[in-house]
Amino acid sequence: MRQAFFGHGASRGSALGRARVRLPHALEVAEERISPAQVEAELARLHAAIETVRGEMHALRERLHGALAHEVGEFLDLHTLLLDDPELLHGLDELIRTGRYAADYALRLQRDRIASVFEAMDDAYFRSRVDDIDQVIGRIHAALHRRAGEMQGVAGEILITDNVAPAELAQLQTQGVLAIVTSAGSALSHSAILARSLHLPLVVGAAQALLKINDGDALTVDGSSGTVILEPNADDLRAHRSRVREHARERKQLHRLRREPTRTTDGVDIKLYANAESREDVAEAHALGAAGVGLYRTEFLFLQRNELPTEEEQFRAYRDVVLGMTGRSVTIRTLDLGADKADRTGLALRDEPNPALGLRGVRLSLARDGLLETQLRALLRASGYGPLRVLVPMVSSREEIRRVKRMLDQVAADLRHEGHEIAEHVPLGAMIEVPAAAIALPSFIGAIDFLSIGTNDLIQYLLAADRNNEALGELYTPLHPAVLRLIRDVIRLARARGKSVAVCGEMAGDPAFAPLLLALGLEEFSLHPATLLELRRAIRGMDLGALRARAPALLRARDRKAIEAWLRAN
């Protein structure tokens, strides 16, 4: 019998397939004891399963590249750290040795023990890490029973589940999943962002779907409207085919825009830069006609290794990016480890009470002797091969920028003395993602050459709302008057002082927000290559003068509804 379920469209696309239902993760394992003679064998079985999981995560990490490696890699790295956590491993061994529990039941007990500690914490960030614990424990449990994973044979199927972890998405798509429907989740979560990058249809918040849909049911999924149809009728099937044809036409139209200018209807050129972290990303940005690389992440050089990268290793990586853009500007961000990005070298702290507010970004670079100096030497050497800019993350004070600038000047003098060919001037920029930096900008804007607004963190810190916390889904939004006014103030000051300014967060890559940003004065966007052509098409249909004329009405908006009404009028 036909039924319709409604959630929130989180990743566009239309899918038709069979349902595969995955119930919320719960390790329902009956208590089972073993004899003393079985202890060593059971420990060996457990350790073999853990090694299997390590191998699976390493293999997945190796298959990923580009921006996807950055996004998914953060979660794989976190899961690897959990897998190596002494408390987890020691606790499992003790439950088997002392309690004489079977490995399956030991996993359940240890999972519940750790989860109860996390759930009791006041910090929402740590409470949200229970999902990561479940993912790791679930992988070990699957390996114990020699299953390659929970989701085998999913080709041509639509996954119905409570939630989906970012680290799962690439693997699910590789296995042939056509779309994903979740009962929880947010359209602004990491998983949703990744689904859009993968062009994998995703509907979130369809609570009834998990209760009413069964394995094997026929479904259509519309990732734009958030509609899921159970046992679709003839009209539903025609609508699905129509959406598929429309998406195909759209892709062809977008393909033709690769060499077209990003120019508004009233003749103003807007610059679209690409976010990147690999040669593949750089090649794609070049092919799509990006104005350059607006944000090149350097964390990948530091992750999944036991020693820090050398100056020579970093230099070659940065040089290749510059050469790959054939004269177009490349902006390289200095190291931004910390928060949910930890490395194996011990550089970033693993046990900070509140990682999102801890030793990360420029704070970490300045706190570790020689770390920033080595990176700046590599960056300046690469500047001899083409236009390069240095971007500093997580700036919160004037003194941080002054320290970086002094070091940059000293490193430049040292390199010239050593005979290296470097650019006469390497522009230095600051990321505006901490509200204090936006407010204190007049005190240090004279020390920098350009700005980049990181809206992901700026919104999170300004609104005190974790974007991955489902309970705060309505609060974490770019459509908040305080967010728009702060962005407007930064853009206005930058333009008044003759400094270029770009937005590089997820907000920049969503065509729906382009009218807002253009109205607020933005003329440079930096975004994932996957949505660059969509944004170009949207901007080519906008009248910049008309948007700017309506900016005062936008800034008078008192709440989200008023801002949404302003958007609908454009």
Residues that are catalytic: 190, 504
- Distance (Å) of CA 79 to CA 54, 129, 324, 342: 9, 10, 33, 11
Strand extents, DSSP E, 355-427 = 388-392
Q: What φ, ψ does residue 522 adopt, rounded to 5°?
A: -70, 140
Report the run of H or E that residue 222 belongs to, with start and end: strand 218-222
**Residue 234: exposure state from Cβ atoms within 10 A (0-12, 13-18, ≥19):** exposed
Q: What is the side-by-side order of every strand in the sheet holding 202-204?
A: 3-6, 227-230, 218-222, 14-22, 157-161, 179-182, 202-204, 8-11
Of the candidates 194, 152, 202, 209, which has an alpha carbon nearest to the alpha carbon of residue 176?
A: 152
Of the candidates 25, 24, 23, 28, which has an alpha carbon nearest to the alpha carbon of residue 105?
A: 28
Does residue 337 contact residue 360 with C-beta atoms inside 8 Å? yes
Strand extents, DSSP E, 64-205 = 157-161, 179-182, 202-204
Does residue 414 contact residue 423 with C-beta atoms inside 8 Å? no
Q: Which two tokens stand for residue 251?
A: 């892709």
> What residues does 230 pair with on adjacent strands?
3, 219
Q: Which two tokens stand for residue 242?
A: 């129509």
CB atoms closer than 10 angstroms to residue 166: 23
Say how far apart CA 326 and CA 283 lie, in whole Å: 10
Q: What φ, ψ does residue 349 adopt, rounded to 5°?
A: -70, 140
Exposure string of 411-432, with b = 16+ CB inside 10 Å and e = fewer, is bbeebeeeeeebbeebbbbbbb
Q: What φ, ψ does residue 176 adopt, rounded to 5°?
A: 105, 10
Residue whose pair of structure tokens reads 């929130």 in the numeric block: 8
Q: What φ, ψ does residue 462 adopt, rounded to 5°?
A: -65, -40
Pairing outcome for strands 227-230 and 3-6: antiparallel
Residue whose pair of structure tokens reads 């409470």 in the numeric block: 127
Of the candidates 30, 46, 74, which has an alpha carbon nearest to the alpha carbon of residue 193?
A: 74
